[in-house]
Amino acid sequence: MARLYVLLFLAQIFLAATALISCLSAEEDEIRTLPRLAWVLIILFFPLVGAIAWFLVGRPVRSGAPGGGWRGGGGFAENRRSRPAAPDDDPEFLKSLDADRSKQDRELFEKWEEDLRRREDEMRRRESGEESTS
C-alpha cells in the first residue's frame, strides 16, 4: 500500500512539474482564463487539481491545428482540406522549375551544337589545308 502512495505522489509531482513548465513556457497572450501568475500559484498550492485545471482550461490552444485546437474524427476529409501548398507541392512552382530547367537544357544543347560545328569546321579546314599542301 505504501508503494502505491509513493507512486501516486511521484505521478502528482510529475504532473505538477509538467504543468508548471508548460505554464511558464507559454506566451503570455495565449494563456486562457487567468493570468500566468495566478496559474503558477494554483499549480504550486494545489498540485493535482491545479495541473489538471491548467491542462483543461488554461493551456493555450494549439495554433498548428486548423480551426484552433485538436480535432478528433470529424471535419473535412484530408484531400478536401485547404492548406497552403509547400513549394514542392505547388504545381505552378514545379512548372516554373521545369521551364527553367528546359531553358537551361536548350541553352546548353545549343552551346554544344555550336562547339561541334566549330570543331567540324576546323577539322575540314585542316583536312583541306593538308590536301592542298600534299
Number of structural domains (the chain) is 2
Q: What is the mean pLDDT of the chain?
A: 83
The answer to the question of residue 95 being in a domain is yes
Report how far residue 26's alpha carbon sits from residue 29's, in angstroms, rounded to the nearest whole number: 9
Rounded to 5 degrees, what are φ and ψ at 67?
A: 80, 15
The answer to the question of residue 8 being in a domain is yes
Q: What's the pLDDT at 91?
A: 80
Strands (E), the chain: none
The answer to the question of residue 69 being in a domain is no
The answer to the question of residue 68 being in a domain is no
**Which of 27, 61, 95 represents a domain boundary (last residue)?**
61
The answer to the question of residue 23 being in a domain is yes
Q: Are 31 and 60 in contact (CB under 8 A)?
A: yes
The answer to the question of residue 81 being in a domain is no
Portion of the chain with pLDDT greater than 90, in percent: 50
Domain hosting residue 2, numbered range = 1-61
Q: Do 54 and 105 have their domain in common? A: no
pTM, entire model: 0.46
Q: Tell me: the pLDDT tens digits for 25-84?
A: 988 888 888 889 999 999 999 999 999 999 998 887 765 545 455 545 555 555 555 666
Three-class SS string for 41-91? HHHHHCHHHHHHHHHHHHCCCCCCECCECCCCCCCCCCCCCCCCCCCCCCH
Looking at the DSSP bridge assignments, the partners of residue 65 are 68
* Dihedral class, residue 67 (left if φ above 0, else alpha if ψ from -120 to 50, else beta): left
Q: Do 54 and 101 have their domain in common? A: no
Rounded to 5 degrees, what are φ and ψ at 65?
A: -85, 145
Q: Do 38 and 2 have their domain in common? A: yes
